[in-house]
Amino acid sequence: MATEDPAPATSNISVRRGDPLVVVKDVQKHYGDFHALKDVSLTVNRGEVVVVIGPSGSGKSTLCRTINRLETITSGTITIDGKELPKEGKALAGLRADVGMVFQSFNLFSHLTILENVTLGPIKVKKMKKADAEAEAKMLLDRVGVGHQASKLPAQLSGGQQQRVAIARALAMKPKVMLFDEPTSALDPEMINEVLDVMVGLAQEGMTMVVVTHEMGFARKAADRVVFMADGQIIEEASPEEFFTHPKSDRAKDFLSKLITH
C-alpha cells in the first residue's frame, strides 16, 4: 500500500507524493460466475506513476476498465479525486473525462483525420469552440511529435505515431489521471521507445498515471511503484528496484524469470 514515507533513492525521478487521487477499495468484479477482481484495493496519489504488471488473465485490463467505468463492479468503491464513480448519465460522462485511457489497440476513428480525432471529445463532450479545440490539439500533437501529420487519416500513420495520437487525444480532455493498458504491446519493436518516451515525459511533468506494461525499462525510469497482480489479486507492491531485484512472492519470482528469459 502507499505510505507517506519518502521514496527510496532507487527511483530515477523525483517522487511526488500528493493526496489520494484514485482510490480503489475492496473491489470485487465478476463476469458471470468468473471472479475477475478479488478484493482489490489500490490508492494512487496525485502525481504518482503506478506500473501494474502480471501474467495474462490476471485482471490488469479489468482493473483499468473498472477505474474508467467501462466495466461495472460487483462491490466495493472507486473514487476519483474524492468522488465516487456514478453509475450512469451526465455525471458519469463528466467523471469519465477525468480519466484518460490509452489502449493496446489505438482505437482512433479511422474515417476522421488526426486533428479531428483529437478535437472530437473537447468539442462534443467539453463543448469547446472548434477553433480553440484545434489550437489545443495542434499543441498536443506537436508535443507528442506528430504535429505535421494533423490532416492525415490514422491509416497513413505508423503504429507508434497512431499511439502517440491516442495519447494526445486522451490529454485533450485534460484528465486528472491517465490509464495506459499495454500501450506498446501491439507495436513493432522500433516504435516502442517513441511511445515510452512520451509517457516518461508525461510522468516527469507530474501526470498521475496507471500503466499496465511489461516494459521494465519504463518502470525503472518512471514508476514510483510497481503493483504485481495474479489471479485477480494484488499480490505485492514495491518500488521498481525492489520489485525487480527482490520480488517477494513465488508468483512474482516465477513471472519475472519468464519475462527475462523469453
Ligand X SMILES: Nc1ncnc2c1ncn2[C@@H]1O[C@H](COP(=O)(O)OP(=O)(O)O)[C@@H](O)[C@H]1O
Q: Give the Cβ contact number of residue 56 at 10 Å.
A: 7
* Cell of residue 118, nine digits: 483529437
Burial of 164 (0-12, 13-18, 19+ CB in 10 A): buried
In the complex, minimum distance from the CB of residue 229 to Mg ion, in angstroms, rounded to a whole number: 10
Residue selected from 61, 149, 161, 184 as contacting ligand X according to rule CB under 6 A: 61
Q: CB-side exposure of 179: number of CA atoms within 13 Å?
A: 23
Q: Is 57 in the site for ligand X (CB under 6 A)?
A: yes
Pattern 22-51, ligand X, x by CB under 6 A: ---------x--x-x---------------
Report what 57 binds from ligand X, Mg ion, none; CB cut-off 5-8 Å by kind: ligand X
Shorter beta-carbon distance to ligand X: residue 18 or 57: 57
Q: Which amino acid is at 90?
A: K
CA nearest neighbour of 187 among 172, 198, 171, 176? 198
- The least distance separating Mg ion from the CB of residue 11, rounded to whole angstroms, comes to 25
Binding of residue 213 to ligand X (CB under 6 A): no
Quote the least distance from Cβ 71 to ligand X, whole Å: 8
Buried b (16+ CB within 10 A) or exposed e, 223-247: bbbbbbbbebbbbbbbbbbbbbeeb
> Considering the complex, what minimum distance in angstroms separates the CB of residue 32 from ligand X?
7
CB 160 within 8 A of CB 195: yes
Q: Is 68 in the site for ligand X (CB under 6 A)?
A: no
Nearer to ligand X, 146 or 234 (CB): 234
| Residue 75, SS3 per DSSP | strand
Identity of the residue, 61 or 213, whose beta carbon is nearer to Mg ion in the bound complex: 61
**Helix or strand or coil: residue 211?**
strand
Amino acid symbol at 132: D
**Closer to ligand X at the Cβ: 6 or 32?**
32
Task: Give the interface with Mg ion as residue ranges (CB under 5 A).
Answer: 60-61
Does residue 59 bind ligand X (CB under 6 A)? yes
Cα–Cα distance for residue pair 100/177, rounded to 1 Å: 6
- In this complex, which beta carbon is closest to ligand X, that of residue 58 or of residue 208? 58
From Mg ion, ligand X, none, interface partner of 59 (C-beta below 5 to 8 A by class): ligand X
Binding footprint of ligand X on the chain (CB under 6 A):
31, 34, 36, 54, 56-62
